[in-house]
Amino acid sequence: MSERNDPNLDLCATVAHNRKAPRGSTAKDARAVRSGAALRDALLYLLERKSFDQITVRDICAEAGVHYATFFRHHPGKEALLDHIAAEQIATSVELTLPIKDAGDDRGSLDALCAYVAEHRQLWAVLLNGGAGTTMRGEWLRHARMVSESRDSVTTWLPKELGTICSTSLIVETIAWWLTQPEEAYSASEVSNILHRLISASTFAQR
């Protein structure tokens, strides 16, 4: 039988081809991850230098070294990229503060949160008071609800879900307000103290 008609050779060729496919797929995935990270870093860099409204997709691509068409394989527009960064920032802040809160140090978790926001003040000002404000608030509440599901209510008179909504709104809107004030007006520690007193007064006043 000739090699051309040998079914075993066809099978071997198919298997060999399939073995190579994941390698190409993995390389493609890696490139996509690198491109996505480059776009994210580029927007963060540009936000430190000008307002979000002044930044174009072409600006982001030029800074990232990514082809214009590649941007739209990742995001439908610059607003979607900003929303993605907003979700990442909320996740990071939760990862930072939750272990402290779990250790029973509510004030310490607020200190850590405010210090983190102060460190990334310009970015958070854009995210909370700019184009990603809705996403930031929604993501914050979503994470807060997930955390509260594993905890008992701290009061008998306030439904747990409502307490979560109220405390989250207090934190978000207080920080959003803080970011509209002159940078030297309030320190991270002062805002943390304001938040602690607001939350304590509204949640623990009547048990």
Look-up of token digits 């608030």: 137
Integer Cα distance of 112 and 96 in angstroms: 7
Neighbour count for residue 31 (Cβ, 10 Å): 11
Q: Which two tokens stand for residue 27?
A: 């390389």
Instruction: Using CA atoms of 116, 121, 140, 166 in order, give the dihedral in degrees to the nearest 10.
Output: 100
Helical pair 160-178 and 188-204, crossing angle rounded to 10 deg:
150
pTM comes to 0.72
DSSP 74: H
For residue 185, the model assigns a pLDDT of 95
Instruction: Give backbone dihedrals phi and psi of 194, rounded to 5 degrees, phi first.
Output: -60, -45
Asked if 100 and 108 count as a contact pair (C-beta separation under 8 A), the reply is yes
Phi and psi, residue 130, nearest 5°: -120, -140
Averaged pLDDT of the chain: 81
**Span 162-183, average pLDDT:** 91
pLDDT band at 68 (very low <50, low <70, confident <90, very high): very high
Q: Are 192 and 107 in contact (CB under 8 A)?
A: yes
Fold of 3-74: Arc Repressor Mutant, subunit A (1.10.10)
Sign of the alpha-carbon dihedral angle for 71, 74, 76, 81: negative
88, 116 Cβ separation under 8 angstroms: no
Query: Residue 194: is its pLDDT beyond 90?
Result: yes
Alpha-carbon span 166 to 205, nearest angstrom: 14
Residue 10 reports pLDDT greater than 50: no
How far is residue 126's CA from residue 133's CA, in Å, rounded to a whole number?
A: 8
pLDDT in tens, 82-135: 889 988 888 888 888 888 877 778 889 999 999 999 999 988 998 888 777 888
Cα–Cα separations (whole angstroms), residue 68 to 11, 78, 81, 85, 155: 41, 12, 14, 19, 53
